[in-house]
């Protein structure tokens, strides 16, 4: 049972436009969600998080939206830059120390 | 402050050989993890540790063993490597803060088993 799903393996966006990466989850016990960014040959790095009691969290060009009733979260990047090209993972966390990761979405920002 | 480091960065093994991957963190984190990343599969948890001297199984533990003799180190062992263990391995560490358990990752080890 895949508790965190990223149904789009890849996404291509023009520089300056908005990138929207989506994530769905099935586990109602998640207390918070995180987005990680991964460049080739590097480890994932933390990008932004959101608590399950909030519906929006913003950090510069990055905003995460949470729709608990739909069990859906999304990451918006505005404006998109070529340096944002990477694989993005969403993850859910709960009362334990473990995170459950999605399969990732490869974002390509075209100059 | 190096964060999370992994040794080695690359390794090629023959089927049946053994090896140990070393993870070290200098952030005094209680929790450490080993993941493998395969195409289309995301990050899957192999084993994890909630403190020095403790280990626990994750989602895909078969064929791997771990040890956490020191708080800063987490070792992943393959006793008899198989081609199915060809993957990129990531170590991570975390601590508990009010927002949860944000994990910090190492740069990865690319392992090929022939």
- Render pLDDT for B56-85 as a digit per residue (tens, 0 to 9): 999 999 999 999 999 999 999 999 999 999
Is pLDDT above 90 for A68? yes
Per cent of chain A over pLDDT 70 is: 99
From chain A, the residues in CB contact with B40 under 8 A are 9, 103
3-state secondary structure of A84: helix
Q: Which candidate, A58, A89, A74, A72, places its Cα nearest to that of A20?
A: A74
Among the partner residues B42, B106, B107, nearest to A101 by beta-carbon distance: B42
Please give the Cα distance from B40 to B33 (Å, whole number): 20
Q: State whether B102 and A44 contact (CB < 8 Å).
A: no
Mean pLDDT of chain B: 94
B112, β-bridge pairs: B12
Number of A/B CB contacts below 8 angstroms equals 56
The pLDDT of residue A51 is 93
User: Which of B50, B99, B106 shows the shortest C-beta gap to A97?
Assistant: B50
Burial of B18 (0-12, 13-18, 19+ CB in 10 A): exposed
Question: Token digits for A30?
Answer: 């998640």
């Amino acid at each position: 049972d895949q508790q965190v799903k990223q149904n789009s393996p890849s996404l291509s966006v023009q520089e300056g436009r908005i990138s929207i990466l989506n994530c769905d989850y099935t586990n109602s016990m998640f207390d918070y969600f995180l987005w990680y960014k991964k460049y080739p040959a590097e480890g994932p790095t933390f990008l932004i998080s959101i608590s399950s009691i909030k519906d929006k969290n913003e950090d510069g060009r990055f905003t995460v939206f949470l729709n608990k009733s739909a069990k859906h979260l999304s990451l918006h990047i505005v404006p998109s830059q070529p340096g944002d090209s990477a694989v993005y993972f969403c993850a859910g966390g709960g009362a334990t120390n473990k995170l459950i990761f999605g399969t990732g979405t490869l974002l390509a920002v075209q100059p | 402050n190096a964060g999370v480091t992994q040794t080695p960065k690359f390794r090629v093994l023959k089927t049946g050989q053994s090896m140990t991957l070393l993870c070290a963190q200098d952030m005094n984190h209680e929790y450490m993890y080993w993941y493998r990343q395969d195409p289309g599969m995301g990050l899957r948890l192999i084993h994890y540790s909630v403190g020095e001297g403790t280990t626990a199984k994750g989602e895909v533990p078969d064929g791997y063993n771990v040890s956490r003799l020191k708080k800063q180190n987490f070792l992943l062992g393959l006793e008899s490597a198989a081609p199915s263990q060809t993957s990129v391995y990531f170590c991570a560490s975390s601590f508990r803060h009010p927002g949860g358990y944000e994990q910090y990752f190492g740069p990865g080890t690319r392992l090929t088993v022939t």
